[in-house]
Chains A and B, each alone.
Chain A
Amino acid sequence: MSVTTETVNFYNKEATNAEEQIALLKQQILQLQQNIKSKTVDASLDPDLQTLFTENTKLKHRLTILQRAISNLSHSSPAPRDSTRMQNIQEILAEVFSQAIASACPDITDPPVVITLGNNPKFGDYQCNSAMQIANIYKQLGKKITPRDVANKILENVAPHEVIEKLGVAGPGFINVYVSKSFGLRNISTVFSHGVRAPEGTKSRIVVDFSSPNIAKEMHVGHLRSTIIGESICRLLEFLGHDVLRINHVGDWGTQFGMLIAHLQDKFPDYLERSPPISDLQSFYKESKKRFDEDEDFKKRAYSCVVKLQSFDPDYTKAWQLICDVSRKEFQVIYDRLDIKLIERGESFYQTRMLEVVKELEEGGYLEEDEGRKVMWGDKTASSIPFTVVKSDGGYTYDTSDLATIKQRIQEEKADWIIYVTDAGQATHFQILFQCARRTGLLTDKIRVDHVPFGVVLGEDKKKFKTRSGDTVRLIDLLEEGLKRALDKLKEKNRDEVLSPEELQRAQESVAYGCIKYSDLSHNRNHEYVFSFDKMLEDKGNTAVYLLYAYTRIKSIARTANFDEAKIEELANNHSISLDHEKEWKLTKVLLRFPEELIKVTKDLCLHHLCEYVYEIATTFTEFYDSCYCVEKDSSGDVVKVNHGRILLTEATARVMKKCFDILGLKPVSRM
């Protein structure tokens, strides 16, 4: 059998092909093995694989982004709380619930977050009452969910927080919050480690304009209210760490100075050499006013004096200075007695600035002609009235000077917040002032302005506060009477027998000035206020006398147990406040509200909130003291047992109260 060459060739070819195939396969296997070793796969080989690779890259990328977002969130939200001061529990709860509500109701934008103080301890210390409102919103959106279901959903979303002991849903949908005792203990203990400190906040530059009497006129009860309220607002804001500028915007400029100077020149021709002995500036004013009204020549001379004064003629300036000084001295007596601090910056300060502001308003096109006057509208649409910036005779008005003043306060003083404390009658004036300042772009939304108005002072007859003869009551006389009444009260209680004369005098002043201030502050300032020494000096109810007594009593407890300041410090280091008794915890919870009570006052600048709070401390303390012995004595009066935790609670109470007194301007005495 012969095999043809063709066949041989054919098989040879087959064999070569096969060999090539084998070589190729070998190479591929090798490649694959290497890939497995080095863990690299050439994705371009397989489109499916390529897609999966891309998908994988994307997922990895997304994962990194998500993880970073999560870690950013968890780092940023719970800012480490300051452990050197009491925390504002209500604020913390508002944050916690705001987050919980946002996650529980993602479909509602800007859901309401309502946290209130519980008024019945059975239903928790605080309540979140948002569920009812949210259910209502859902109803409007066409979803039917009961408030209770909403409340339960919120509850599920509340992140655990050290403040919260437990939560519960009650009634139609209230969420009751119980404050954690351990948190409360830590929080209240800061008053020993760091003193009673204000809650944290950003520091603002604040101008408070208060008191502001008129030169050459008597200060009256209206000024008294402004002075007392303004002083307390300043004290509160200073305590909160703000940079407060207390301004006494006295009325030291105007046409009345013409007649006063003219009269001065007639009565004391040698005024430039010798200080004129004006003892009663008020009658001096009345005399000159009388001449001004009746004597045409005098009137003319008075006007020329004004012109001279306004052109800063030295002799006239001197006369003006002398008159101001007399007034200033009189005012200072009252400020000293009431412990008021103010920087005098009267209307005269703004003379040149008024020229400027008028020029600017003119250039800005804000002024309109009106029967010879130049007026500026704050808001033309409303049934408003305009500011008279320039009178028809070219003179300026209060409106002008207030515009110059607010400009100075914003631009030169860099104020973030301006507060004017005046009677309620000026509300419209300030409304227009703020509108005008906004129109010119001077006042922006970054600057807070408040007119803090107060109601008129009435006599016990509910009529305008006057003396029996119908004259305005002089403030100095009023203070004198207060002192007398206070002494009477002390004597009535036979305190004069117990106290040394010095102690008695301190108690007398503390009670007299304290009650005048406290009675003013403890009433809602927006209302009319009946001035009554009898009521002020009552020793029951929410009065200065009651609080001062209460404080003295609290302070005396530690004293009885022979604890002085140093010993209390030591005690605070080794013991903690006792919170086991229900009344102990109740008192502590009242004290823990200190930060939120202060913040509440900054919102509406109504100091009666703070007065009510101190009063609540005092009454809660009484409750506590009635059921919890702090110091036990035997029949001979010797101390048998001291409950250290309660002594500390007593001390904490005293410290918080003292801080409130400071703000309210009360000066407690250790014995009375």
Chain B
Amino acid sequence: MASKTAAKDIITLRGSAAIVSEFFGYAANSILYNRAVYPEESFARVKKYGLPMLLTKDEGVKSFISNLNAQLSEWLEAGKLQRVVLVIMSMNTGEVLERWNFSIETDNEVVEKGVSREKSDKEIMREIQAIMRQIASSITYLPCLDEQCVFDVLAYTDTDVAVPFTWMESSDAKLIANPQMVKLHSFDTKIHKVNTLVSYKNDEEELDDEE
């Protein structure tokens, strides 16, 4: 975890990886709640980043996300993780409806030399808070998901990464054809910079087709 001294907030690689993986966990939960992938009653309210956040109570999803976070943290400490994508698909057709793209830029000097950086924890929390607010407000412009949906997580890593036991290499990146894209805020721990972008299926094409 990020170590706090009396006057300076020093961020280490491990601390930054923990912050980013924790952020992803909360972001995934927030997306699953806001996009109604799982019912509202399966979520519990907690306080995080100065906001009321919703975490799933489903043990399966909880364990999935915790395992995911552990692996992401490991890859982040090794500097091998490039992107994490949370994909929402239709359960019936398997069509990809939304892609929540979290791209990560790593400071290789920190990974190679093990130096630390300085940034206020409050500043980082503020930046994450802004992203969480944007995720919550995304329902205003994202198309309604009328059908039952499932989610999946893809990790874009370096080619020399050993594939863990519970992971497999996928040739299908689950892309959306002609998506609409909305770029959200980003946050930076001075070691890892996370850019958020949501791409969704263009609803207007369906309406035009229907017409």
A and B: partners? no
Contact surface of B with A, Cβ cutoff 8 Å? none
